[in-house]
Amino acid sequence: MVTLTIDGKEVTVPQGTTILEAAKGVDIKIPTLCYHERLNPIGSCRMCVVEIEGFTHPMAACTTPVEDGIEVTTNSERLTRIRQDSLKLILVNHPLDCPVCDKGGECLLQDLVYEHGIDQVEYSAAKIERDSSYATPLIRYWPDRCIMCLRCVTACQEIKGIGAISIKGDGYGAQVVVVDQDKCQSCGECLQVCPTGALTEDLSRYKGRTWLIERVPTTCTYCGCGCQLELNVQNDRVIAVTTKDGVGVNQGSLCVKGRFGYEFINSDERLTTPLIRKNGKLEEAGWDEALSLVAEKFSAIKEEFGGGAIGGLTSARCSNEENYLFQKFMRAAIGTNNVDHCARL
């Protein structure tokens, strides 16, 4: 164990803990942009700089491990000035389009600019035209809004192990590029970790501010993993799916179906009543009529050919209880073990 002092508070943490983690453990807030709990420290934004007694230059709290006996200062005039300069440099090429940006109201950069009282930027640089193409059409890339925090690239490599995107160039001219589009699984991990509006969902034509949306926690219906997600609902319509970091077995991650496969909910093609084919055409019917017809057909087939002539296909999108009842029905009522599952298909 290592004991250090942060803003006058004595803290004891395990060896190898970073200063940022130690500070978070005692509710001392250090501003960050590139840091994410699920990723290895990136250290690109320089927002988390702290002063350590005996050291001339401030150091990044997210990449600096604790040492026994050190005294750390997380807030000072000098640190505030450094953080303000870092934000101003980021804003040199960042469009001030918060009113129309999808991330407006829940943008980490927007919050930090407000907290640090920045109302003008003294720096300037030549405009660089950046390529806006991306690895999946389900996500739109806004290169001018990108702050090069590298979260997206790191998450694609470390969390998903895919490596579909990377960084091209260096310095002011660097940008996120697609290195292998065929590798991209459209999982949206990059979208989930992006702290600004550089990556936005490009599926739903409906948009809504965070204060206009109701986020309903639920369980993904696509398979049996039980991933947790939030349905973003506006005017009784699901317009997006988001997740919370650290919540559920998925810890904020989803596959392409969980994150983008929600349009069926409000589809005009969804069946709302049973259909029975009469004279070659499907016609609407009541539940009693439809279920009676199915029972009659099952009984007739079983009587003539035996229960083995009938098979059942169940679904991962049903609950465990519903799937149990289905297989029980097939085995006990129909008399067959011909039960399969859609997850294999």
Confidence bin at 160 (pLDDT 50/70/90):
very high
Q: What is the pLDDT of residues 269-308, one digit of tens each?
A: 989 999 999 999 999 999 999 999 999 999 999 999 999 9
- 64: DSSP letter: P
Structure tokens, 33? 């942009």
- Tell me: pLDDT of 162 over 70: yes
**Distance set, CA 112 to CA 50, 86, 106, 119, 262 (Å):** 16, 11, 11, 12, 33
Share in percent of the chain as helix, strand, coil (round to 5): 30, 20, 50
pTM, rounded to two decimals: 0.82
Structure tokens, 13? 């943490």
**What Rg, from alpha-carbon coordinates, does the chain have?**
27
- The pLDDT of 209-236, averaged and rounded, is 91
Q: Tell me the C-alpha distance between 57 and 51, whole Å.
A: 7
pLDDT value at residue 236? 92
- HSE value, Cβ hemisphere, 13 Å, CA-based, for 93: 19
Fold (CATH) for 2-75: Ubiquitin-like (UB roll) (3.10.20)
- 334: DSSP letter: I
pLDDT value at residue 344? 60
pLDDT value at residue 140? 95
Q: What is the pLDDT of residues 306-328, one digit of tens each?
A: 999 999 998 877 778 998 999 99
- Tell me: pLDDT of 345 over 60: no
pLDDT value at residue 315? 83
Percentage of residues of the chain with pLDDT beyond 90: 76
Cβ contacts of 280 within 8 Å, gap of 6 or more: none
Confidence bin at 191 (pLDDT 50/70/90):
very high
- The pLDDT of 40-55, averaged and rounded, is 93
> Domain locations in the chain?
2-75, 306-344
Mean pLDDT for all residues in the chain = 92
DSSP string, 264-333: GGG-TT---S-EEEETTEEEE--HHHHHHHHHHHHHHHHHHH-GGG--EEE-TTS-HHHHHHHHHIIIII
- Give SS3 for 115: helix
pLDDT value at residue 36? 95
Q: Is 40 exposed, middle or buried (0-12, 13-18, 19+ CB in 10 A)?
A: exposed
